[in-house]
Structure 1
Amino acid sequence: MESAEDLGASHGWRLRRGVLEDGRQVFAKVGAASPVFASEAAGLRWLGEAMDVPEVVEVAEDRLVLSWVDTEPPTPAAAERFGRALARMHRAGAPAFGAPWPGFIADLPMDNSAADDWPSFYATRRVLPFVRRAGLPAEDVRRVERAVERLPEAAGPPEPPARIHGDLWSGNVLWSGGTGVLVDPAAHGGHRETDLAMLALFGVPYEERILAAYQELSPLADGWRERVPLHQLHPLLVHVVLFGGSYRESLMRAVDRVLALGRAG
Structure 2
Amino acid sequence: MSDTHVKTFANAQEAAAEAAGLAWLAEAESSGGTRIVRVLGRPSPTVLDLERIDDRSPTAVQAERFGRSLAHTHAAGARHWGAPAPGFPVDGPLRMGRSRTAFVAAEDAPESWGEFFAEYRIRDYVRRIVDAGGLDRTQAAVFDRVADRVQDGTLGSPQPALVGDRPARLHGDLWAGNVLWPADHAEPTGAVLIDANPHGGHSETDLALLGLFGLPRLETVLAAYDAEFPLADGWQDRVALHQLAPLLLHVLLFGGSYTDAALRAARRYA
Whether 2:114 is the aligned partner of 1:119: answer: yes
Matched, 1:129 2:124: yes
Matched, 1:54 2:34: no
CA drift at 1:37: 1.5
Q: CA deviation at 1:30?
A: 1.4
* CA positional deviation for 1:204: 0.9
How far apart are 1:105 and its partner, in Å?
6.6
Instruction: Select between 95-104 and 161-170 the one with higher mean Cα deviation.
Output: 95-104
When structure 1 is superposed on structure 2, of 178-187 and 188-197 the one drifting more is 178-187
Alpha-carbon contact 2:143-2:266 (below 8 Å) kept: yes
For residue 56 of structure 2, what is the amino acid of its counterpart? E
Q: 2:255 aligns with which of 233, 237, 244?
A: 244
Q: Could you tell me how far apart the structure 2 residues matched to 1:237 and 1:257 are?
A: 15
Report what 1:15 is aligned to: none
Total equivalences in the alignment: 237
The counterpart of 1:30, out of the listed 8, 14, 17, is 8
Task: Report runs of 4+ in structure 1 exceeding 3 Å deviation.
Answer: 102-106
Preserved CA contact (<8 Å) 1:54 1:182: yes
Taking the TM superposition and a 5 Å limit, the aligned residue runs for 1:222-261 are 222-259=233-270
The equivalent of 1:5 in structure 2 is none
Tell me which residue corresponds to 1:44: 22
Question: Deviation per CA, 1:58-81, whole angstroms, max 9, x where unpaired?
Answer: 345322221111212211110000
Letter in 1 for 2:22: L
Letter in 1 for 2:127: R
Give the alignment partner of residue 96 of structure 1, picking from 80, 84, 89: 80
Post-superposition offset of 1:34: 4.3
**Corresponding position of 2:57:** 73
Structure 2 matches for 1:138-153, cutoff 5 A? 138-151=137-150, 152-153=153-154
Deviation at residue 193 of structure 1 after TM alignment: 0.2
1:167 to 170, 173, 181: 173
Distance 1:106 1:77 in 2: 34
Deviation at 1:104? Answer: 5.6
* Residue ranges of structure 1 left out of the alignment (5+ in a row): 1-17, 20-24, 260-265
**Take 2:51 and 2:64, find their aligned partners in 1: how far apart are those partners?**
24
* 1:202 CA displacement: 1.3
Instruction: Give distance in 1, aligned partners of 2:96 and 2:180.
Output: 18
**Alpha-carbon separation, structure 1, partners of 2:146 and 2:227:** 32
Q: Is the 8 A contact 2:96 2:102 kept in 1?
A: no
SS of the counterpart of 1:49? helix
Would the alpha carbon gap of residues 106 and 223 (structure 1) be closer, same or farther in structure 2, given more than 3 Å must change?
A: farther
Moved more, 142-151 or 123-132: 123-132
Q: 1:212-263: CA deviations, max 9, x gaps? A: 111111000011111111111110001011112220111001101122xxxx
Q: What does residue 232 of structure 2 align with?
A: 221
Report how far residue 170 of structure 1 moved.
0.5
AA in 2 matched with 1:76: A
Whether the 8 Å CA contact 1:53–1:182 is kept in 2: the answer is yes
Contact in 1 for aligned 2:35/2:192 (Cα 8 Å): yes
Q: CA RMSD in A?
A: 1.8
Structure 1 contact 104–186 (Cα < 8 Å) conserved: no
CA–CA separation in structure 2 for the residues paired with 1:82 and 1:112: 26
